[in-house]
A and B are shown apart, each in its own frame.
Chain A
Amino acid sequence: GNSVTQMEGPVTLSEEAFLTINCTYTATGYPSLFWYVQYPGEGLQLLLKATKADDKGSNKGFEATYRKETTSFHLEKGSVQVSDSAVYFCALTSGSARQLTFGSGTQLTVLP
């Protein structure tokens, strides 16, 4: 079956620091990969996605590259801001299954 393993949190960084949140997956076929973000008290929002190997998704300074050889989709940002504080979820869909399979989430706190 499908599964997503995500870096354990919480992660605390100073403003302007470099961020990496690791994500690896197991899936049948060729999954589509996503990063969702959840701000306090809100639902999840799509941050970025990649649908085939070597694709790079990017949005709001965040990037992630679909690496089929390492089955990974690590999230990176070169310089985080306080407003990036949230919970980040790696997820995938695969084959006929349209539902998202989520990782456990990583809480990010950015300090001024």
Chain B
Amino acid sequence: DARVTQTPRHKVTEMGQEVTMRCQPILGHNTVFWYRQTMMQGLELLAYFRNRAPLDDSGMPKDRFSAEMPDATLATLKIQPSEPRDSAVYFCASGLGAEDNEQFFGPGTRLTVL
């Protein structure tokens, strides 16, 4: 049963601390997406990779957020320093890259920054 996995599932941290979220896409998928979900903004795209190369990170605050794919089995989203307004659920999704392909979502990381 192929699934996208994300760790940690929950993270509580203090303002100013570094946060790293990890995602393992489904084996064989060549596109990876990071989304953020909040009550106020809904679902927003933060970054998008194809074949491990970043294609679009225009939705991501560049001064504090960074996204990487060190290899095909791992995607990371890092926030440094974290702020209370970063509190949200962060979802990773992977897919096969065609326009009409389904994206498979992970269970999310619920981040709370105090």
Q: Are A49 and B102 in contact (CB under 8 A)?
A: yes
Residues of A near B108 (CB, < 8 A) are 42-43
Nearest-Cβ distance from residue A81 to partner chain B, whole angstroms: 23
Assess A98 versus B99: contact at CB under 8 Å? Given A43-B107, A43-B108, A44-B105.
yes
Residues of B near A89 (CB, < 8 A) are 43
Count class of interface residues, chain A: 20 to 34
Tell me whether chain A's interface is mostly helix, strand or loop, or mixed. strand
Interface: A112 (CB within 8 A) = no
Q: Kindly count the residue-residue contacts between A and B in the assembled complex, taking CB atoms under 8 Å apart.
A: 52
Assess A44 versus B99: contact at CB under 8 Å? Given A98-B48, A99-B33.
no
Residues of A near B100 (CB, < 8 A) are 32, 49, 51, 93
Binding site for A on B (CB under 8 A): 4, 31, 33, 42-43, 45, 48, 50, 56, 91, 93, 95, 97-108
Binding site for B on A (CB under 8 A): 32, 34, 36, 41-46, 49, 51, 89, 93-95, 97-100, 102-105
Smallest CB-CB A-B distances: 8 pairs: A43-B105, A32-B100, A51-B100, A102-B43, A44-B105, A46-B102, A99-B45, A104-B42
22 contacts between A and B (CB under 8 A): A32-B99, A32-B100, A34-B102, A41-B107, A42-B108, A43-B93, A43-B107, A43-B108, A44-B93, A44-B105, A89-B43, A93-B100, A94-B99, A98-B50, A98-B95, A98-B101, A99-B33, A99-B45, A100-B103, A102-B42, A102-B43, A105-B42
